[in-house]
Amino acid sequence: MDYKDLANLIFPDAKDISYYEEKYVKRNLPEGAVVTRYAPSPTGFLHIGSLFQVLISSMMAKKTGGINYLRIEDTDQKREIEGAITSVINSLKDFGIEFDEGQIDEINGKGDYGPYKQSQRKEIYEAYAKYLLSQGKAYPCFATPEELNELREKQEAAKLRTGYYGVWAKYRNLSVEEAVEKIKNGESYVIRLKSPGNEEKKIRHKDVIKGNVEFPENDQDIVIIKGDGLPTYHFAHAVDDHLMQTTLVVRGEEWLSSIPTHLQLFNILGFKAPKYAHIPTIMKMDGESKRKLSKRKDPEAAVDYYTEEGIPKESVLEYLLNIANSNFEIWRKQNPDKKLSEFDFQINKIGVSGALFDMVKMLDVSKNVISRMSAEEVYDKVNEWAKQFDEELSVMLQNKEYALKVFGIERGNTKPRKDISKWSEVKESISYMFNDKFDKNAQFEYAKISDKNEIEKIVKLYIEKYFDINDDKQTWFDKIKDLAEELGYAREVKLFKSEPEKWPGHVGDISTVIRVTLTGRQNTPDLYEIIHVLGKDTVIERLS
Ligand code: GLU
């Protein structure tokens, strides 16, 4: 009996690997095109770090005219969650990320390199495991959990490296006859790689992001097929990324230390290894120290959070690009109107260590992103958000023509308003523009001029003598100055500053009185524009 007999006994029906090697023909792509993928386990939760990762791979595929595909890594069936695949696909779609190829729902995929769901690829892994078994490069291991425990305890007691390797790998050198007998007796087993590695030797690897790294060779006889017949991540990674012809693996840095195992697997299987880009984990400051953004503690770790808060997808993507390439910010300043896809993204410029996530900065980016949107765009997005998350706001926006005017205030000019960072702030920020939301009897907080009689005097004179809805902006402002002067205030701020003791205040204090009376707030966008959108009747009513 030889290895072939053992392989046939274990996987009697598995095909010869030549079948798959021929079935998946070489991709026909332009020179330099990158084939990359997003390969989540379907847990039903999309972490902001995952979005970061997909954004990077999709930028790389787009930039090179390549392919970004979706593969579902569901070999850990204990973690299966109903509807999780569709939910990931939809969450990513919300952020404008769609795949060129791969899984499209819970069951189906599109493309010539599928199935794209690992649980549907069992026979493929079996073929490659059989191929290794038949050459004696893999073997069935009958170690029970108790045996493995005992092994670990012994190693720990002797202060040795733990694991299943070298002399500790009890079933590594079992004869074919002994293995066959155990299988025939119904003993359970896994398939392990017979690692040719030597811990004392080093391997060198050049990571696209991390640069040169050095590790000891892998000498662990890792499991490639588990007791349930499904492959481990390591084995599936090698087989799938080979057959799907991935050229660039973009994945979390927690996998960097598996590089020796993965390169070894590619080598033993006779595959060409892809390039690897291990991206930094997204961190946040917690007091003085950095920590991972945690699914449990930080709501902003979940991608759905941004959708619920109404932080536009454009803002989130733009912020993530900011984290990825520090020159993005300058590019954006110089090219305010360009599409994100026009940015020359450089994967190797991603920082090596933990990317720091800062919500304040994210909202700041978002203010800028929103400031560049047209009133129509803002309206559409707010409206869509409100339909799902805020009925009251949705009702307020029913008069589209009026809402467009409100959103049009200080927009579309060279210095657009920057007071909105997310749609959940919109209702509060525009409520005074709606008569039924504006409580004219509320106690307003005035600024420097807060005496009731003085306020009345100012407002009264303004309506009677200076207010004319038909004035252009310059005339309107000149009239506010005239009003200030008539009431004994400085007509220019400059004048006031040169001799502050001479006046009770200046033109700005006067306009603040009008602003607060009209809107209930000390800070608003341009008052002239507000007056025009509110219209003559509302202005007079509120001021009276
Ligand atoms: N399923 C793995 C994970 O979710 C994929 C890692 C990879 O991209 O290879 O971490």
* pLDDT band (50, 70, 90) for residue 79: low
Whole-number pLDDT of residue 475: 96
**Which stretch of 204-213, 296-305, 409-418, 514-523 has the lowest confidence by average pLDDT?**
409-418
Sorting pLDDT into bands at 50, 70 and 90, what band is 440? confident
Which atom of ligand 1 is nearest to 40's Cα? Answer: 4
Lowest mean pLDDT of 174-183, 194-203, 281-290, name the range: 281-290
Q: How far apart are CA 118 and CA 80, in angstroms?
A: 12
> Do the first three CATH levels of 32-113+280-367 and 438-543 match, i.e. the same topology?
no
By three-state DSSP, how is residue 299 classified? Answer: helix
416 near 526, Cβ under 8 Å?
no
- Kindly give the number of the ligand 1 atom that is closest to the alpha carbon of 241: 9
The domains of the chain are located at 3-14+122-279, 32-113+280-367, 373-422, 438-543
- What is the spatial distance between Cα 249 and Cα 36, in angstroms, rounded to a whole number? 6
Mean pLDDT, residues 323-347 taken together: 93
Q: What pLDDT, on a 0 to 100 scale, did the predictor assign at position 273?
A: 98
Residues pairing with 37 in the sheet:
69
73, 233 contact by CB (below 8 A):
yes
Find the 39 Cα to ligand 1 centroid distance in Å: 5
Whole-number Å distance, alpha carbon 41 to ligand 1 midpoint, is 7
- Which architecture, in CATH terms, is 3-14+122-279? 3-Layer(aba) Sandwich (3.40)
Q: Quote the CA–CA distance of 93 and 77 in Å, as a whole number.
A: 25
Q: What is the mean pLDDT of residues 281-307?
A: 92
Domain range 32-113+280-367, its CATH number among 3.30.70.3270, 3.40.1190.20, 3.40.50.300, 3.40.50.620: 3.40.50.620
Q: What single-letter DSSP state applies at residue 168? A: G
Q: Which atom of ligand 1 is nearest to the CA of 251?
A: 8
The alpha carbon of 101 and the centre of ligand 1 are apart by a number of angstroms equal to 17
How does DSSP assign 382-445, residue by residue?
A: HHHHHHHH-HHHHHHTTSHHHHHHHHHTT-SSSS-----SSGGGHHHHHGGGSGGG--TTS---
Cα–Cα distance between 428 and 129 in angstroms, integer? 61
Reported CATH class of domain 438-543: mainly alpha
Mean per-residue pLDDT, 409-435? 93
Residue among 237, 239, 266 to mutate when testing ligand 1 (max atoms within 8 A of CB): 237
pTM of the model: 0.90
In whole angstroms, give the CA distance from residue 371 to residue 407. Answer: 10
Cis peptide upstream of residue 115 (ω within 30 degrees of 0) = yes
What's the rounded mean pLDDT across residues 527-543?
95
Name the residue with the closest Cα to ligand 1, atom 10.
40
Per-residue exposure over 83-103, b if at least 16 CB sit within 10 Å of its own CB, e if not:
ebbebbbebbeebebebbbbb
Probe target for ligand 1 pocket from 36, 37, 38, 41, with the most ligand atoms within 8 Å of CB: 41
Most distant pair of Cα atoms in the chain: their distance:
111
pLDDT given at position 441:
83
Question: Half-sphere exposure (CA, 13 Å, Cβ side) for 338?
Answer: 13
Average pLDDT over all residues of the chain = 95
Determine the Cα–Cα distance for residues 465 and 478; give it in Å rounded to an integer.
13
Whole-number Å distance, alpha carbon 84 to ligand 1 midpoint, is 16
Position in ligand 1 atom list of the atom nearest CA 53: 8
482 CB-side CA count, 13 A: 11
Q: How far is the CA of 250 from the centre of ligand 1 (A)?
A: 9
Instruction: Report whether 88 contacts 305 (CB < 8 A).
Output: no
Which of 74-83, 353-362, 459-468, 525-534 is least confident?
74-83
Distance (Å) from CA 251 to ligand 1 centroid: 6
Handedness of CA 228, 170, 215, 205 (dihedral sign): negative
Distances (CA, A) of 310 to 304, 381, 384, 414, 495: 10, 9, 10, 25, 44
Rounded to the nearest angstrom, the distance between the alpha carbon of 265 and the centre of ligand 1 is 16
| pLDDT digit string, tens, across residues 132-182 | 999 999 999 999 999 999 999 999 999 999 999 999 999 999 999 999 999
Mutate which of 244, 251, 266, 276 to test ligand 1's pocket (most atoms within 8 Å of Cβ)?
Answer: 251
The protein residue whose alpha carbon is closest to atom 4 in ligand 1 is 40
- Which atom of ligand 1 lies at the shortest distance from residue 73's CA? 1
Strand partners of residue 231: 225
The candidate with the shortest Cα–Cα distance to 208, out of 239, 240, 253, is 253
**Residue 323 tokens, joined:** 């984290």
The 3-state secondary structure of 358-376, one letter per residue: CHHHHHHHHHHHHHCCCHH
Q: Half-sphere exposure (CA, 13 Å, Cβ side) for 499?
A: 7
Ligand 1 center to 96 CA (angstroms):
21
**Residue among 294, 304, 306, 290 at smallest CA distance from 356:** 290
Q: What is the pLDDT of residue 345?
A: 95
Residues with CB under 6 A from ligand 1: 39-41, 73, 237, 249, 251-252, 255
Instruction: Please choose from 41, 47, 73 the residue to mutate so as to test ligand 1's pocket, defined by most ligand atoms within 8 A of CB.
Output: 73
pLDDT score of 101: 98
The whole-number average pLDDT for the span 301-323 is: 95
Q: What is the pLDDT of residues 368-409, one digit of tens each?
A: 999 999 999 999 999 999 999 999 999 999 999 999 999 999
Choosing from 207, 233, 281 the residue with most ligand 1 atoms within 8 A of its CB, the one to mutate for a pocket test is 233
Q: Supply angle C-alpha 285, 289, 292, rounded to 5.
A: 60
pLDDT at 355: 84
Q: Which of 166-175, 303-312, 412-421 has the lowest mean pLDDT?
A: 412-421
Residue with tokens 């092994």: 151
User: What pLDDT is stored for residue 396 in this prediction?
Assistant: 97
For residue range 235-253, list pLDDT tens digits in order. Answer: 999 999 999 999 999 999 9
Atom 5 in ligand 1: residue holding the nearest Cα: 39
Beta strands in 93-156 (DSSP E): 101-103, 109-110, 138-141
For the segment 208-229, the average pLDDT, to the nearest whole number, is 97
Which atom of ligand 1 lies at the shortest distance from residue 37's CA?
8
- pLDDT at residue 145 in the model: 96
Judge whether 279 and 209 are in contact, CB under 8 Å: yes
